[in-house]
């Protein structure tokens, strides 16, 4: 039987309900795996095992007495290190019965697409330890792939949930902007990472809705999926673009997945997005500057100052100019970008009158090798054997980020040579997160799905 530590959270919750495994047994199993594997990965930073084991006993006792502690009753999980213990997300998960037993690693600069973290070290990719998991939810994605945790959260502002999910072969959801409270910055959305689509939807059900103050006046009821099976959906597909060329290995995996979906009955129309990729990327970057100029970015700038103090060589002119640009964006510049964004949102809304979802790459490449260079602008990524600008990897995630749309990263296979995971991005209509999730679910039923990295598959089967 499959090791319980590698099952989707929804299957584990079923095993807990049916008492095929207890919360304590599951947590102890995970703690054993952490002892065995975490030194290789550096995915988890801190553990509170004693408290968590006590909470697991409470969960088991409550179940024995017929008490239901919520939809996540007794499920051990971790949270990215940047979440505060009194945050809305943390409190909602615990109120739903989850047992938060530790924190996962994140880069010093959260949006870092590689993983530069001098204080705690980088997280290694479970598929190839010499490669990155990306930021900011890289520790979360690696821990899920390796079976060290069962559910995780990230904050997706610039693909920082979707890209680590793509790099590590797990699922990630960026919800519609505003659906989940706790991150008020423009475009920023708290979203789950998991080993299955049903896990993402379960986490969304727990997290979505107004905060306590707004709940006085309104509630959130996300629409049900537009269709009931694969053949009822109509999707647009765009797999490559001159503005952000996709590596041939990645493109081959995505093309094979699309072909299988077409054979299975999905109605597919190959067409560009309603917004040119170059425009989406440019507007997204301009809006990002507004975020970094706001109070929300205080932590990011503190990290930049720390890097400046510890790595003086990083203070060259281009970096200084970039920081000045972030700090001196005018209100007029941001407003111009916001006007463009509104026009983009209207074009996406028009597209979703004709299509139920839009499928495209998450990133143009697989997880790259570690790059410890703290100067992000000095880094490159390799596409088809040629170096490309480091920020090319943000092109494909800009569609959903800038337009506030829900988007799911779905693992659909491994590249033939490097044997690294590839994710397909499913973008849905605004506030129709359940449609995006259901399309992702149908995709997983036909192709791909979570596959455990071979070095982290337990040698013996466990009963659940």
Locate 229 and state its tokens.
């099976």
Residues 199-245: pLDDT tens digits?
A: 999 999 999 999 989 999 999 999 999 999 999 999 999 999 999 99
Q: Looking at the domain assignment, is residue 202 inside a domain?
A: yes
Q: Left if phi > 0, otherwise alpha if psi is -120 to 50, otherwise beta: which for 361?
A: beta
Residue 160 CA, distance from chain mean position: 6
Mean pLDDT along residues 13-24? 98
pLDDT tens digits for 276-289? 999 999 999 889 88
Residue 309 lies in a domain: no
**Higher-scoring residue by pLDDT: 415, 323:** 415
pLDDT band, residue 325 (cuts 50/70/90):
low
Is there a domain that residue 395 lies in? no
Q: What average pLDDT does this structure show over 411-417?
A: 97
Query: Could you give the CA distance from residue 460 to residue 57 in angstroms, rounded to a whole number?
Result: 26
Residue 237 inside a domain? The answer is no
Place of tokens 């990133």: 363
pTM: 0.93
* Mean pLDDT confidence for 305-321: 44
Model pLDDT, residue 323: 52
Torsion angles phi and psi, residue 450, rounded to 5: -70, 135
pLDDT of 296 reads 46
How large is the average pLDDT for residues 361-386?
90
pLDDT at 107: 85
- Least confidently predicted of 269-278, 285-294, 298-307, 414-423: 298-307
Determine the number of helices (DSSP H) and then strands (DSSP E) in the chain. Answer: 14, 15
Q: Is 174 strand, coil or helix?
A: strand
Question: Does residue 262 surpass a pLDDT of 50?
Answer: yes
| 409 sits in which H/E element | strand 407-414
- Alpha-carbon dihedral sign for residues 149, 155, 156, 160: negative
Asked if pLDDT for residue 301 goes beyond 60, the answer is: no
Q: What's the CA gap between 107 and 118, in Å, rounded?
A: 9
- The secondary structure of residue 280, as a DSSP letter, is H
Res 307: pLDDT: 40
Q: How confident is the model at residue 144 (pLDDT cuts 50, 70, 90)?
A: very high
Q: What is the DSSP string of 286-339?
A: HHHHHHHHSGGGHHHHHHHHHHHHH-GGG--HHHHHHHHHHHH--HHHHHHHHH
Give me the pLDDT at residue 366, please: 97
The whole-number average pLDDT for the span 72-92 is: 90
More confident residue, 145 or 293: 145
Tell me what the pLDDT averaged over the chain comes to. Answer: 90
| Residue of 185 and 323 predicted with greater confidence | 185
Instruction: Find the CATH number of the domain harbouring 59.
Output: 3.90.1300.10
Residue 388 lies in a domain: no
Give the pLDDT confidence score for residue 110 in this predicted structure.
Answer: 64
* pLDDT score for 84: 76
CA pair distance 136, 134, nearest whole angstrom: 6
What domain range includes position 74? 4-228+449-456
pLDDT at residue 309 in the model: 41
CA distance 355 to 382: 33
pLDDT at 329 over 90: no
User: Residue 144: inside a domain, yes or no?
Assistant: yes
- pLDDT of 433 strictly over 60: yes
Percent of the chain residues past pLDDT 90, beyond the cut = 77
| E strands present in 90-232 | 99-104, 124-125, 128-132, 152-156, 171-174, 189-194
Query: Are the C-beta atoms of 88 and 211 separated by less than 8 Å?
Result: yes
User: How confident is residue 331, by pLDDT bands cut at 50, 70 and 90?
Assistant: confident
Does 109 score more than 90 pLDDT? no
Confidence of residue 318 (pLDDT cuts 50, 70, 90): low
Residue 310 is predicted with a pLDDT of 40
pLDDT of residue 382: 92
Separation CA 187–CA 404 (nearest Å): 6
Q: 40 is written with which tokens?
A: 């290789």
Q: What is the reported pLDDT for 241?
A: 96
Residue 455 phi, psi dihedral angles, 5° rounding: -65, -15
pLDDT of residue 314: 41
Q: Which of 152, 170, 194, 147 shows the shortest CA–CA distance to 5?
A: 147
Measured over the CA atoms of residue 123, residue 124, residue 127 and residue 131, the dihedral's sign is positive
pLDDT at 184: 78
Residue 62 backbone phi and psi in degrees, to 5: -60, -40
**Dihedral Cα 295, 297, 298, 299, nearest 10 deg:** 140
Q: 424 in a domain, yes or no?
A: no
Q: What is the pLDDT of residue 390?
A: 82
pLDDT band at 315 (very low <50, low <70, confident <90, very high): very low
* Rg for the chain, CA atoms, rounded: 21
* Nearby residues of 87 by Cβ (< 8 Å), 6 or more positions away: 182
Q: How many angstroms separate the CA atoms of 210 and 327, rounded?
A: 31
Structural domains counted in the chain:
1
pLDDT digits (tens, 9 = 90+) for 380-391: 899 999 999 887
Burial of 460 (0-12, 13-18, 19+ CB in 10 A): exposed
Q: Where does the pLDDT of residue 375 fall: very low under 50, low under 70, confident under 90, or very high at 90 and above?
A: confident
Least confident of 54-63, 285-294, 360-369, 380-389: 285-294
- Please check whether residue 268 lies inside any domain of the structure: no
């Amino acid at each position: 039987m499959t090791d319980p530590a590698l099952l989707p959270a929804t299957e584990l919750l079923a095993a807990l309900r049916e008492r095929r495994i207890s919360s304590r047994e599951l947590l102890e199993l995970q703690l054993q795996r952490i002892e065995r594997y975490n030194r290789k990965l550096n995915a988890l930073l801190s553990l509170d095992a004693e408290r968590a084991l006590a909470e697991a006993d409470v969960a088991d006792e409550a179940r024995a007495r017929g008490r239901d502690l919520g939809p996540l009753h007794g499920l051990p999980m971790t949270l990215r290190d940047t979440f505060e213990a009194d945050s809305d997300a943390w409190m909602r998960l615990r109120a739903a019965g989850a047992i938060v037993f530790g924190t996962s690693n994140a880069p010093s600069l959260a949006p870092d697409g590689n993983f530069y973290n001098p204080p705690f070290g980088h997280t290694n990719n479970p598929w190839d330890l010499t490669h990155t998991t990306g930021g900011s939810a890289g520790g979360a994605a690696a821990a899920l792939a390796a079976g060290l945790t069962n559910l995780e959260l990230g904050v997706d502002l610039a693909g920082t949930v979707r890209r680590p999910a793509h790099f590590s072969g797990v699922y990630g959801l960026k919800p519609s902007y505003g659906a989940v409270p706790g991150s008020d910055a423009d475009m920023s959305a708290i979203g789950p990472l998991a080993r299955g689509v049903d896990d993402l939807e379960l986490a969304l059900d727990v997290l979505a809705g107004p905060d306590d103050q707004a709940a006085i006046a309104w509630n959130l009821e996300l629409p049900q999926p537009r269709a009931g099976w694969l053949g009822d959906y109509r999707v647009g597909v765009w797999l490559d673009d001159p503005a952000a060329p996709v590596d041939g290995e990645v493109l081959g995996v995505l093309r094979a997945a699309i072909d299988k979906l077409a054979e299975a009955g999905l109605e597919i129309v190959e067409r560009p997005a309603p917004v040119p990729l170059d425009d989406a990327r440019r507007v997204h970057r301009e809006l990002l500057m507004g975020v970094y100029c706001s109070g929300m970015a205080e932590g990011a700038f503190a990290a930049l100052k720390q890097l400046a103090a510890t790595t003086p060589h990083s203070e060259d002119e281009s970096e200084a100019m970039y920081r000045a640009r972030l700090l001196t964006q005018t209100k007029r510049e941001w407003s111009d970008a916001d006007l463009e964004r509104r026009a983009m949102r209207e074009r996406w809304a028009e597209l979703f009158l004709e299509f139920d979802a839009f499928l495209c790459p998450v990133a143009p490449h697989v997880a790259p090798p570690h790059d410890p260079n703290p100067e992000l602008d000095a880094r490159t990524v390799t596409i088809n054997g040629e170096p490309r600008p480091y920020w090319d990897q943000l092109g494909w995630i800009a569609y959903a980020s800038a337009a506030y749309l829900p988007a799911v990263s779905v693992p659909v296979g491994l590249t033939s040579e490097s044997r690294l995971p590839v994710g397909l991005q499913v973008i849905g209509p605004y506030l129709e997160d359940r449609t995006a999730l259901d399309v992702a679910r149908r995709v997983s039923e036909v192709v791909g799905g979570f596959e455990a990295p071979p070095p982290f598959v337990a040698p013996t089967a466990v009963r659940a």
